[in-house]
Amino acid sequence: MTPPFAPWADPDAKPLIEIRNVTKRFGAFEAVRDLSLAIHEREFFAILGPSGCGKTTLMRMLAGFETPSEGEILLDGQDLSPIPPAKRPVNMMFQSYALFPHLTVEKNIAFGLKREGTPKAEIAERVTDIMRLVQLTDFARRKPDQLSGGQRQRVALARALVKRPRLLLLDEPLGALDKKLRQETQFELMGIQETLGTTFVIVTHDQEEAMTVSSRIAVMRAGELAQVATPTDLYERPDTRFVADFIGEVTILDGIVTAASRGGVGLSVMEGAPDLRIITPHTPPAGTQAWLALRPEKVSISRERPADADNALAGKVLDIAYLGNISTYHVALPDGSIIKAQESNRQRADRRGITWEDPVWVAWEEDAGVLLLA
């Protein structure tokens, strides 16, 4: 068995890209603030955040369209800042695809190689190869306005990849495609990245997309990194309420830490209710304000109090969202806060017999949630 791909966990590994204390200001506005980040060879790295968080600015600094106000960006240990975009071993796939409307698919793809002065025979060979890889061979002589959205996206990808960059930047690459096509294309993109072994950095605001394609995700907020982690860690072990809330659905209950015991703590969330038991690696002192982040699929819902549950609270069904494969129940607790509980509909949902206004119990294991201090 090969060990899992995780060069970031190896302290001796040399990163491909090192961003060191980079700040970018536009006038008085700080788009990126004192940001440091290392990206390794062959990674599929996602930069995720709400619009205006500085993710696009960060990508444009990698491409060379913006220069950092402070700090430096290294590629293979070499400072990138004096190198113009044209000379960087970095290529970018633009959000609008930016295909040249006056050139055919073939000539669009060959554009960068011609600029480099690559011999004609080699250009033809590399263009043919890349067109086969992205399944565009039949469209070589078409102009961009004769292509569908998905085909244009593949031309843009091929045009950036054919130069064999060390780093490929993708700015919201699938944003213009409809949902079904987007999902298919995500897997295609992963396949291409694995085949070529190029390092990909994708910028997106779509957390599902980032979770699907990437080896690691950097979540950005207001110009700073909120957390950098694998998709699993980000979902299961978020550092902050912002990350927990930004990735997937979550219920956040606030409370006060009570006694610590057996590798966990108690959390008092409501007067009159028993303290919640939470397993947590860090045990803050009693009296600290803390939050419990709970994923809805880890919370079960039932009419009777489950006998063996670590944590159980009584409430009333406020809303039911039936999504076909799953149903999400919004349960209101006596103090007015709401817990989301999700049940998969392996049996038809209407047989469960829980409906609006029903008194119910929500229950979860002591290791189901995450205790957050920020």
Partner 1 sequence: MTNRFSWFNATSLTLGMAFLYLPILILVIYSFNESKLVTVWGGFSTKWYGELFRNEAFLSAAWVTLRVGLISATVATLLGTLAAYALVRAGMLKGRTLFSGMIYAPLVMPEVITGLSLLLLFISIGMDRGITTIILAHITFGMCFASVVVSSRLVAFDASLEEAACDLGCTPVQAFFSVTLPVIAPAIVAAWLLAFTLSLDDLVIASFTSGPGATTLPMKIYSQVRLGVTPEINALSTLLIGFVSIGVILASLAGKRAAVE
Q: Return d(Cα 215, Cα 318) in angstroms, integer.
A: 38
For residue 155, the minimal CB distance to partner 1 (Å) is: 11
CA-based nearest residue to 204, from 66, 95, 91, 41 = 95
Q: Is the Cβ of residue 74 or residue 111 nearer to partner 1 in the bound state?
A: 111
For residue 88, the minimal CB distance to partner 1 (Å) is: 8
Q: Are 203 and 47 in contact (CB under 8 A)?
A: yes
Q: Is the Cβ of residue 55 or residue 163 nearer to partner 1 in the bound state?
A: 163
For residue 65, the minimal CB distance to partner 1 (Å) is: 6
Q: Is the Cβ of residue 117 or residue 287 nearer to partner 1 in the bound state?
A: 117
In angstroms, the Cα distances linking 291 to 244, 265, 288 are 11, 12, 10
Residues forming the site for partner 1 (CB under 8 A): 63-65, 84-87, 90-92, 94-96, 98, 100-102, 111-112, 115-116, 145, 159-160, 163
Cβ atoms within 10 Å of 95's Cβ, excluding its own: 16
Contacting residues for 170 by C-beta, under 8 A, at least 6 apart: 92, 93, 157, 189, 200, 201, 202, 203
Q: Return d(Cα 69, Cα 22) in angstroms, integer.
A: 7
Q: Is the Cβ of residue 91 or residue 328 nearer to partner 1 in the bound state?
A: 91
For residue 158, the minimal CB distance to partner 1 (Å) is: 12
For residue 330, the minimal CB distance to partner 1 (Å) is: 43
Written as six digits, the tokens of 32 are 């990126």
- Strand-strand pairing, 326-332 and 311-322: antiparallel
Q: List beta partners, residue 170.
A: 93, 202
Q: Is the Cβ of residue 85 or residue 263 nearer to partner 1 in the bound state?
A: 85
Q: Is the Cβ of residue 21 or residue 67 nearer to partner 1 in the bound state?
A: 67
In angstroms, the Cα distances linking 141 to 41, 79, 108, 132, 149 are 34, 40, 10, 14, 17
For residue 244, the minimal CB distance to partner 1 (Å) is: 35
